């Protein structure tokens, strides 16, 4: 198997821990161990303290499977499997797809949503949003369907645009998939981080061939825990994903499973904390863009942790990124890393210090006006 370099992850590997400020991260600040354990019940603390650091169950800790299944109306523990999100994406695609199958995927997208199916030899068609509103039109998805389409890959809340859909739009995607006997792989890593719209239930609860991915990294502010899960109605598929996963991590980290259990059992606390921070950062961003409206514009995100900032400047967004790192130690992700045409940078709204970073960014932009 050959697979293309993961450009975005290479960029983060280079700058995430060597640059002073991060303006484009898609995760929320990591909670401390103390905060997580402080909120745990006595029973949860007992599980934590008495935990044996041996191998864990291949499908996942039974209590964790139970807690996860509560989030998927109509599903039980047999409909869930636990691993890291990247492994799950890999295992799902390799379990259901073959060379020559046709796939439709949202674009821009987190790169693995395209590259893994490409590496299998699938034919990929990209479903693009309108470049002003970042809205994905359902009729355009319909036009992309072919006789050999086997899978539709979606990601709402959407990274990087912050787009979200109404329930009726999710239902239309399901209708298209059902009429063409396609799977829907719904990357729901930002599930429940919705700003001012109703939260739609996971695709796994909506559609018999719907596959939902969620995990701790974004909604819960625990990216270091490295736990994700797949939920789907098809128990046989859960088994197939497990067979593939045997060649990857075998089973999940024992401490991480218990931390995830605590996160899920107290999810209102974690998710609300992150939403409050994102909303407050959005206000700061709005004022910032208003101040710099000669060179910046954006479409406010509806959900998730990210949005795109359009740059009305003379240099490319990649050059802009390099200059901003060199002069002020602020890392951004330019449009090129999402194969977006035009000059944009991604803004990450899940970090507490965003107002402080915007103040330094402000100085950088002032110098831009003069040049
Ligand atoms: C849409 C999307 N899916 C999956 C992932 C991977 O999640 P994790 O970092 O937990 O592996 C990311 C991370 O940025 C993402 O944005």
SS3 call for 151: strand
Residue 96's φ and ψ, nearest 5 degrees, are -110, -15
What's the pLDDT at 364?
A: 95
| Banded pLDDT at 53 (limits 50, 70, 90) | very high
* Cβ atoms < 10 Å from Cβ of 13: 11
Taking the model in full, what pTM does it have?
0.97
Atom of ligand 1 nearest to the CA of 109: 1
Query: Ligand 1 centroid vs 59 CA: distance in angstroms?
Result: 20
**Best residue among 89, 217, 259 to mutate for probing ligand 1, ranked by most atoms within 8 Å of CB:** 217
**35/44 Cα distance (integer angstroms):** 14
**Best residue among 27, 85, 263 to mutate for probing ligand 1, ranked by most atoms within 8 Å of CB:** 85
Enumerate residues lining ligand 1, CB below 6 A.
26, 84-86, 110, 155, 159, 187, 189, 215, 217, 223, 228
**Best residue among 159, 230, 308 to mutate for probing ligand 1, ranked by most atoms within 8 Å of CB:** 159
> By 3-state DSSP, what share of the chain in percent is helix, strand and coil, each rounded to 5?
45, 15, 40
Query: Ligand 1 centroid vs 214 CA: distance in angstroms?
Result: 9
Express each pLDDT in 351-368 by its tens digit: 999 999 999 999 999 878
Average pLDDT for residues 281-290, to the nearest whole number? 98
Query: Ligand 1 centroid vs 85 CA: distance in angstroms?
Result: 7
Express each pLDDT in 34-47 by its tens digit: 999 999 999 999 99
Q: How far is CA 296 from the centre of its chain?
A: 25
Atom of ligand 1 nearest to the CA of 226: 10
**131/193 Cα distance (integer angstroms):** 23
What's the pLDDT at 196?
A: 87
- The whole-chain average pLDDT of the chain stands at 97
**Sign of the CA dihedral running 231, 236, 237, 243:** positive
Nearest Cα residue to atom 8 of ligand 1: 85
SS3 call for 259: helix
pLDDT of 371 strictly over 80: no
Express each pLDDT in 67-87 by its tens digit: 999 999 999 999 999 999 999
Percent of the chain with pLDDT over 70: 99
Q: Are 109 and 116 in contact (CB under 8 A)?
A: no
Query: Ligand 1 centroid vs 182 CA: distance in angstroms?
Result: 23
Domains of the chain: 7-32+268-370 (3.90.1150.10), 53-267 (3.40.640.10)
Q: Are 154 and 141 in contact (CB under 8 A)?
A: no
Q: How would DSSP label each residue in 169-237?
A: HHHHHHHHHHHTT-EEEEE-TTTT-BSSSPPPPPHHHH-TTEEEEEESTTTSS-GGG--EEEEES-HHH
| Banded pLDDT at 1 (limits 50, 70, 90) | confident
| Banded pLDDT at 370 (limits 50, 70, 90) | low
**73/210 Cα distance (integer angstroms):** 13
Query: Ligand 1 centroid vs 273 CA: distance in angstroms?
Result: 20
What's the pLDDT at 288?
A: 98
Residues 6+ apart with CB under 8 A from 310: 296, 297, 298, 342, 343, 344
DSSP code, position 339: T
What's the pLDDT at 367?
A: 77
What's the pLDDT at 141?
A: 98
Cis-peptide into 157, omega within 30 deg: yes
What's the pLDDT at 368?
A: 80
pLDDT of 181 strictly over 90: yes
Query: Ligand 1 centroid vs 221 CA: distance in angstroms?
Result: 12
Widest CA span in the chain: 62
| Banded pLDDT at 369 (limits 50, 70, 90) | confident
Query: Ligand 1 centroid vs 157 CA: distance in angstroms?
Result: 12
**What are the strands, taking DSSP E only, across 233-305?**
296-298
**232/208 Cα distance (integer angstroms):** 8
Strand order in the sheet with 306-311: 296-298, 306-311, 344-348, 333-334
Express each pLDDT in 191-243 by its tens digit: 999 998 999 999 999 999 999 999 999 999 999 999 999 999 999 999 999 99
Nearest Cα residue to atom 15 of ligand 1: 110
């Amino acid at each position: 198997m050959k697979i293309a370099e993961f450009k975005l992850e290479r960029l983060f590997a280079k700058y995430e821990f060597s640059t002073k400020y991060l303006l484009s991260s898609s995760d929320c600040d990591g909670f401390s161990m103390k905060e997580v354990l402080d909120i745990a019940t006595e029973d949860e603390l007992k599980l934590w303290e008495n935990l044996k650091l041996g191998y864990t169950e291949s499908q996942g800790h039974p209590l964790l499977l139970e807690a996860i299944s509560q989030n998927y109306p109509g599903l039980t523990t047999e409909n869930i499997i636990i691993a890291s999100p990247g492994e799950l994406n890999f295992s799902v695609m390799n379990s259901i797809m073959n060379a020559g199958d046709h796939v439709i995927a949202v674009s821009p997208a987190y790169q693995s949503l395209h590259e893994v199916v490409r590496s299998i030899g699938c034919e990929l068609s990209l479903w693009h949003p309108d470049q002003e509103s970042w809205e994905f039109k359902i009729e355009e998805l319909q036009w992309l369907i072919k006789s050999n389409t086997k899978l539709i890959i979606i990601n709402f809340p959407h990274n990087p645009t912050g787009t979200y859909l109404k329930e009726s739009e999710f239902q239309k995607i399901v209708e298209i998939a059902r009429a063409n006997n396609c799977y829907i792989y719904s990357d729901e890593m930002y599930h429940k981080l919705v700003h001012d719209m109703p939260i739609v239930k996971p695709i796994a609860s909506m559609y018999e061939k719907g596959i939902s991915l969620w995990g701790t990294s974004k909604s819960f502010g625990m990216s270091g825990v490295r736990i994700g899960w797949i939920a789907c109605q098809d128990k046989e598929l859960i088994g197939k994903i497990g067979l593939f996963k045997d060649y990857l991590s075998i089973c999940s980290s024992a401490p991480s499973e218990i931390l995830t259990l605590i996160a899920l059992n107290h999810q209102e606390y974690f998710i609300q904390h992150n939403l409050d921070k994102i909303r407050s950062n959005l206000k700061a961003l709005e004022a910032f863009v208003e101040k710099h409206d000669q060179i910046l514009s954006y479409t406010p995100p509806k959900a998730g942790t990210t949005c795109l900032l359009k740059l009305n400047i003379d240099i490319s967004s990649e050059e802009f990124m390099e200059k901003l790192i060199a002069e002020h130690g602020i890392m951004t992700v330019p449009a090129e890393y999402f194969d977006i045409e035009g000059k944009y940078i991604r803004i990450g709204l899940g970090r507490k210090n965003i107002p402080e970073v915007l103040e330094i960014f402000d100085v950088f932009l002032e110098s831009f006006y003069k040049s």
